[in-house]
């Protein structure tokens, strides 16, 4: 289960412009289109580096990209983001493709241990088979970095949660529909992980998109916004251009600068048509106040 404390460190990485996209799909070599697609997803909407790249004194240390680093000490667990480079001893270089896919869909490591719910594997059940292949293909291109992170400590079960409609993989044909593609992208980007209030047993999906999740951090305190179609509380009276600016630049309709952990530096590298699809989907989210 994600908590506000769990997300504090995320924004610290997200506020930096991603020069790390030098490791992006454009430089990938094997598997061509698969690697390009995987690199695009990993380095934009999925914001994987937000957790899996260690922080230095001036922000993310991209020389050690994907080698793990951010830690969380919560009631259910004490964990450190995994090394997901191709190092065979401390990363995932010795894992099979099937084992990587199984972890992403179920949260279960090859040794049978389930990873902490801070990793939003419940939101990855929707990933298409081709995109899953693409993500794995891209991960295979990441240079091996030896970095042994501490072993996780699990205090009691906190299983991952899956939002309604994302319980099984989408097909490629489904992504041809603009709204469905927007839902798909918003889901693998786990947008509603932060923008849906928590109940005593996890996310309260009856309040999907209402916001209200508090994130204390070095920036003070930020509160996730209502991103339903409500005109009074949500995005109902925002123009598409205003929503796009908020997503990609972190600037709200009223000109206010959005605080972390909103990952707008990652989203700023998304394709225009994908941002448009996300906005089209947000227009369909029932108004809640």
Query: Using one digit for the tens of pLDDT, what is the confidence trace for 203-253?
Result: 899 999 999 988 877 778 889 999 999 999 999 999 999 999 999 999 999
289 in a domain, yes or no?
no
CA 63 – CA 30 distance, rounded (Å): 22
Q: Which helix (H) or strand (E) holds 203?
A: strand 202-203
Q: Is 179 exposed, middle or buried (0-12, 13-18, 19+ CB in 10 A)?
A: middle
79 in a domain, yes or no?
yes
pLDDT-derived band at 12, boundaries 50, 70, 90: very low
Would you state the torsion angle of the CA atoms of residues 232, 226, 38, 2, taken in this order, to the nearest 10 degrees? -170
Q: Which of 30-39, 42-51, 73-82, 216-225 shows the lowest per-residue confidence on average (mean pLDDT)?
A: 216-225
Mind giving me the DSSP string for 232-282? Answer: TTSSTTS-HHHHHHHHHH-B-TTSPBPPTT--HHHHTTS-HHHHHHHHHHH
Number of domains present in the structure of the chain: 1
% of the chain at pLDDT higher than 90 = 69
CA 235 – CA 210 distance, rounded (Å): 11
Q: What is the average pLDDT across 282-289? A: 98
Q: pLDDT value at position 25? A: 41
13-38 pLDDT, tens digit per residue, is 444 434 444 344 444 455 789 999 99
156 in a domain, yes or no?
yes
287 in a domain, yes or no?
no
- For 77, the domain range is 4-282
Name the 3-class secondary structure at 209. Answer: coil
Q: Which helix (H) or strand (E) holds 67?
A: none
100 in a domain, yes or no?
yes
* Average pLDDT of the chain to the nearest whole number: 89
51-69 pLDDT, tens digit per residue, is 999 988 877 899 999 999 7
170-191 pLDDT, tens digit per residue, is 999 999 999 999 999 999 999 9
Partnered with residue 199 across adjacent β-strands are 202
Q: Is 25 exposed, middle or buried (0-12, 13-18, 19+ CB in 10 A)?
A: buried
Q: Which of 82-86, 135-139, 235-239, 262-266 shows the lowest per-residue confidence on average (mean pLDDT)?
A: 262-266
% of the chain at pLDDT higher than 70 = 89
Q: Which two tokens stand for residue 230?
A: 């409500």
pTM flag (> 0.85): yes
Q: pLDDT value at position 30? A: 54
């Amino acid at each position: 289960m994600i908590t506000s404390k769990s997300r504090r460190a995320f924004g610290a990485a997200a506020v930096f412009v991603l020069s790390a996209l030098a490791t992006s799909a454009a430089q990938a070599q094997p598997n061509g289109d698969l690697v390009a697609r995987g690199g695009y997803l990993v380095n934009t909407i999925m914001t994987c580096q937000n957790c899996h790249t260690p922080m230095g004194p001036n922000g993310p240390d991209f020389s050690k990209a994907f080698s793990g680093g951010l830690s969380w000490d919560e009631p259910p667990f004490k964990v450190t983001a995994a090394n997901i480079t191709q190092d065979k001893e401390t990363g995932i270089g010795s894992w099979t493709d099937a084992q990587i896919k199984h972890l992403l869909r179920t949260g279960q490591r090859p040794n049978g241990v389930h990873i902490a719910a801070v990793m939003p594997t419940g939101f990855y059940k929707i990933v298409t088979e081709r995109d899953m292949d693409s993500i794995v293909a891209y991960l295979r291109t990441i240079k091996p970095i030896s970095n042994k992170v501490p072993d996780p400590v699990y205090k009691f079960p906190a299983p991952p949660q899956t939002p309604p409609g994302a319980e099984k993989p989408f097909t490629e044909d489904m992504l041809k529909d603009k709204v469905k593609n927007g839902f798909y992208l918003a889901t693998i980007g786990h947008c509603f992980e932060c923008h849906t209030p928590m109940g005593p047993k996890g996310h309260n999906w009856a309040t999907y998109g209402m916001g209200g999740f508090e994130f204390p951090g070095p920036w003070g305190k930020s509160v996730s916004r209502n991103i339903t179609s409500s005109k009074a509380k949500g995005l109902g009276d925002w123009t598409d251009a205003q929503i796009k600016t908020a997503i990609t630049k972190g600037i709200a309709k009223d000109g206010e600068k959005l605080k972390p952990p909103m990952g707008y530096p990652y989203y700023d590298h998304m394709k225009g048509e994908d941002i448009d699809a996300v906005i089209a989907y947000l227009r369909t989210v029932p108004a809640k106040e």
